């Protein structure tokens, strides 16, 4: 499990270094692939919330929680950020005035 955690973290960091800094919230979309990866990330986050609830009543390894958290981070960097960067699309950033 630790190797998988380390791999996800290294992968996220490697991709993140190649992308411009994120200064605003991103609105999901951009391309079909990016949108699907946003959905996958949302499902990961929901699973993480369910695991936290389960941990309150059952014995659960903290590595599982760490893994699902890292996976959602990886999907965020891989999907919306990298896919849009590679495709030349623009990220849609949230406008506070809306």
Residue 51 maps to which CATH number? 1.20.1200.10
pTM, two decimals, is 0.77
For the cut 80, the answer to whether the pLDDT of residue 30 exceeds it is no
Query: What pLDDT score does 80 carry?
Result: 64
In a domain, 98, yes or no: no
Across the range 23-52, mean pLDDT stands at 86
Nearest of 78, 88, 92 to residue 38 by alpha carbon: 78
Query: Mean pLDDT in the chain?
Result: 84
Residue 52 structure tokens = 């936290």
Domain contains 79? yes
What's the domain range around 64? 30-91
Spatial distance between the Cα atoms of 32 and 2, rounded to a whole number of angstroms: 32
Asked if residue 12 belongs to a domain, the reply is: no
Q: Is residue 5 part of a domain?
A: no
Domain tally, the chain: 1
Residue 68 lies in a domain: yes
| Sign of the Cα pseudo-torsion (22, 88, 26, 28, in order) | negative
| Tokens coding 41 | 């990330």
Structure-model confidence comparison of residues 98 and 4, the more confident one: 4
Residue 88 DSSP symbol: T
Q: Angle 33-39-42 (CA atoms, 0-180°, nearest 5)? A: 145
**pLDDT, tens digit, for every residue of 55-87?**
999 999 889 999 999 999 999 888 766 666 676
Residue 1 within a domain: no
């Amino acid at each position: 499990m630790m190797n998988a955690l380390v791999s996800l973290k290294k992968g996220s960091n490697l991709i993140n270094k190649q992308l411009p800094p994120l200064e605003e919230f991103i609105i999901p979309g951009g391309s079909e692939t990016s949108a699907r990866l946003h959905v996958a990330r949302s499902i990961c986050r929901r699973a993480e919330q369910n695991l936290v609830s389960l941990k309150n009543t059952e014995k659960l390894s903290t590595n599982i929680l760490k893994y699902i958290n890292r996976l959602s981070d990886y999907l965020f960097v891989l999907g919306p950020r990298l896919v849009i960067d590679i495709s030349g699309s623009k990220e849609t950033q949230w406008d506070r005035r809306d």
